[in-house]
Chain A
Amino acid sequence: MSRKQRKMLCRIIVAAVVWAAGFLLKHIFNTEERFGTEGIILLVIFTASYLIIGWDILWKAIRNIAHGQVFDENFLMAIASIGAMIVGEYDEGCAVILLYQIGELFQSVAVGRSRKSISDMMDINPEYANLEVEGEAVRTDPNEVAAGDIIVIKPGERIPLDGEIISGSSALNTAALTGESALRDVTVGDEVISGCINTDGLLRVKVSRPYSDSTVAKILELVENSSENKAKTENFITRFARVYTPVVVIGAVLLAVVPPLFTGDWAAWIYKALTFLVVSCPCALVISVPLSYFGGIGGASKCGIMVKGANYLEALSNAQTYVFDKTGTLTKGSFSVSEIHPANGVTESALLEMCAGAESGSNHPIALSIVDAAKQRGIVPAAENAREIAGFGVTAEVGGKEVSVGNIRFMRKLGAECAEAESTGTVVHCAADGGYAGYIVISDEIKDGAKSAIAGLKKLGAAKTVMLTGDRKATGEAVAAAVGIDECHTELLPDGKVALVEKLYSEKPEKSTLVFVGDGMNDAPALARADVGIAMGALGSGAAIEAADIVLMNDNIENLPAAVKIARKTHAIVMQNIIFAITVKVLIMALTTVGIGNMWAAVFADVGVAIIAILNAMRAMRIKRAQ
């Protein structure tokens, strides 16, 4: 609690004690006489309590009315409470203002708390960098470090700028950015991302870009600006509030004047009108909507899901069409050996050893993936006299055999008997001493969790899942089938992707939204065209952070259904609050008009509803981490 809040708490306690004393006396005296000695004593006690707790409201009411703010909440509260005192309901009038202040205090503590917990979470701003100047580390403002400079990062320090390790190795804690608790091992030659924490080793890093372009600066900018993008619901509620208060106040005036003209019962109707004024404040509504979205965005960032604004979270909650880019989103974007088919009489490892040996001198991604696969099985690829035969493949001596590795034409040329392989990836055939030895298939690996992520989205009511790719038909369709995507479009050029998003846009169910998920590298136009553009694995990619509306910082695609769940939950909380607050207020007004409600009920409708709505809104921040 801040000093201001503690002071208010003291005032509330003192005023409440005085009020309770007055309330007790009222029941002891049990008098109807307002201007007898006992009546005057009660008036003095309740006025004292009122002034202790309400002087600032009276002061603000006067000041704001001077500024022409007629429908100011302080003014309305002042009228309602003073009115009640004048009508003779001292305890109620005083309680209205007391409870109002309790509600305000509660609200300010709750909001302060959620603000703090979110700003703590976003506390990734590096305060300094240890710049190496002539062999010595000098503390410097990260803004003053240029690309190419060398910085030193000690254990326990936050990495201030993006760069490449030139000496040292360590484990990095990326939790603040990705929500992942597992440490990331890094060593010489690896790229490090600003915002991560160096846990054990001393690192020397060559800075790759200035602070203003660093990952941290990009994320902070995203977070800073996220409050500008307000959700439609929030704009609706503020518009509603602008109409609501005047309508209720006019209703109160009519209630105070019109019925008594016929019945003559002025005091009773004025009391009802004052009750209206108590519920005229739209605060519960106005505060709970942005608080919920703020909490939802904060909770999402805990899981490494950065949302650029409440509007995107709102749009995501209505998503029914999900469009995916293939490479880098559903697949890892790196090649690896997926199948090994040795011919009769050859073992898998022998085939792999021959292929890896022959390819060991090459830098081609496919060759590298074969060598990697061999190393994983403990095979050390080695070959002699490797020769490349352009357009066909490679020939080399592996373990005393003449091994040829390449495409099917190469096999035919060598006279090795082989059949066309049925596969969706790149096929590499192998022959040893002129006899066919089998083939290896290399394909882009499907990401772990891609299948369950798609299944998760379908469970959340996805009407359609679509995959777009520039790849061959067979490859694309195989990936789509493997992960459970409904519709697949292959062999697309980049502008073809936008055209297809456009087409899917016109086909999507009414009032639902379209989500495009990509890696942000070459699908920026499609990301921009979709209602919600989501970039995957954006850690270290400033371009992706800029292009997308929602950024999944880590590479875990299962964060996608998690993001949808967070959006749904937040939206549900917002709707609950709106419906609850409006229902209670309308109900209280109706009951008051027919004579059942009283000021106590009205105070509940104002303060109680606000507190319940705020507590409900704070639920949005509590998110179970997706694993």
Chain B
Amino acid sequence: MKKTFKLQDLDCANCAAKMEAAIKKLDGVKSATVSFMTQKMTIEADDAEFDAIVKRAAECIKKVEPDCTVILK
């Protein structure tokens, strides 16, 4: 499954790159991009674990930029 999430208060381009690198390293993530320009994160991961992976990705984001939140639709 592949899904895109909006990110709020993603203020720094280098942080976006760090987030992307961290999320890519998570188990079960096939591909991930964090776009500073569009303030969006796209994750492709196994269906079964998808929600758990998104949660872990959100933790990665918090770790790099604590003010940045993932908007889970």
A residues sitting closer than 8 Å to B (CB atoms) are 60, 63-64, 67-69, 73, 104, 108, 111, 115, 224-225, 227-228, 230, 238, 241-242, 281-283, 286-287, 290-291, 294
Top 4 closest pairs, chain A to chain B, by CB: A227-B35, A238-B17, A287-B13, A294-B37
Contact A224 B4 (CB under 8 A): yes
- Which residues in B have their C-beta under 8 angstroms from that of A228? 33, 35, 42
- Distance (Å) between the CB of A81 and the closest chain B CB? 18
A-B contacts at CB below 8 angstroms, number: 61
Name which residue of chain A comes closest to B42, CB basis.
A228
- Distance (Å) between the CB of B61 and the closest chain A CB? 11
In angstroms, Cα B12 to Cα A290, docked, is: 12
- Distance (Å) between the CB of A474 and the closest chain B CB? 49
- Distance (Å) between the CB of B19 and the closest chain A CB? 11
Listed residue (A104, A108, A228) with the most chain B CB atoms within 10 angstroms of its CB: A228
Could you list some 21 contacts between A and B, CB below 8 A? A63-B66, A67-B63, A69-B64, A73-B12, A73-B14, A115-B38, A224-B4, A224-B40, A227-B37, A228-B35, A230-B33, A238-B21, A242-B17, A242-B21, A282-B14, A287-B36, A290-B13, A290-B35, A290-B36, A291-B37, A294-B37
**Main SS at interface, chain B:** mixed
In angstroms, Cα B17 to Cα A191, docked, is: 44
| Those of B1-46 within 8 Å (CB) of chain A | 4, 11-14, 17-18, 20-21, 33, 35-40, 42
- Which residues in B have their C-beta under 8 angstroms from that of A108? 11
**A227 with B13, Cβ < 8 A, contacts A69-B63, A238-B21 known:** no
**A227 with B33, Cβ < 8 A, contacts A73-B12, A290-B13 known:** yes
**A241 with B64, Cβ < 8 A, contacts A291-B37, A294-B37 known:** no
Contact A286 B66 (CB under 8 A): no
- Distance (Å) between the CB of A582 and the closest chain B CB? 15
**A227 with B21, Cβ < 8 A, contacts A69-B63, A73-B12 known:** no
Beyond A283-B12, A287-B13, 5 extra complex contacts between A and B, CB < 8 Å: A111-B37, A238-B14, A241-B17, A290-B13, A290-B36
- Which residues in B have their C-beta under 8 angstroms from that of A294? 37-38
**For chain B, which range describes its interface: under 10, 10 to 19, 20 to 34, or 35 or more residues?**
20 to 34
**Main SS at interface, chain A:** helix
- Which residues in B have their C-beta under 8 angstroms from that of A115? 37-39
Name which residue of chain A comes closest to B44, CB basis.
A228
| Those of B48-73 within 8 Å (CB) of chain A | 63-64, 66
Listed residue (B14, B17, B36) with the most chain A CB atoms within 10 angstroms of its CB: B14
In angstroms, Cα B10 to Cα A227, docked, is: 15
Contact B4 A286 (CB under 8 A): no
Name which residue of chain A comes closest to B64, CB basis.
A69
**A227 with B40, Cβ < 8 A, contacts A67-B66, A73-B12, A290-B35 known:** yes
- Distance (Å) between the CB of B43 and the closest chain A CB? 11
- Which residues in A have their C-beta under 8 angstroms from that of B66? 60, 63-64, 67
In angstroms, Cα B7 to Cα A115, docked, is: 14
- Which residues in B have their C-beta under 8 angstroms from that of A291? 37
Name which residue of chain A comes closest to B11, CB basis.
A108
In angstroms, Cα B18 to Cα A163, docked, is: 46
Name which residue of chain A comes closest to B17, CB basis.
A238
- Which residues in B have their C-beta under 8 angstroms from that of A67? 63-64, 66
In angstroms, Cα B17 to Cα A242, docked, is: 9
In angstroms, Cα B35 to Cα A325, docked, is: 35
Listed residue (B21, B38, B64) with the most chain A CB atoms within 10 angstroms of its CB: B38
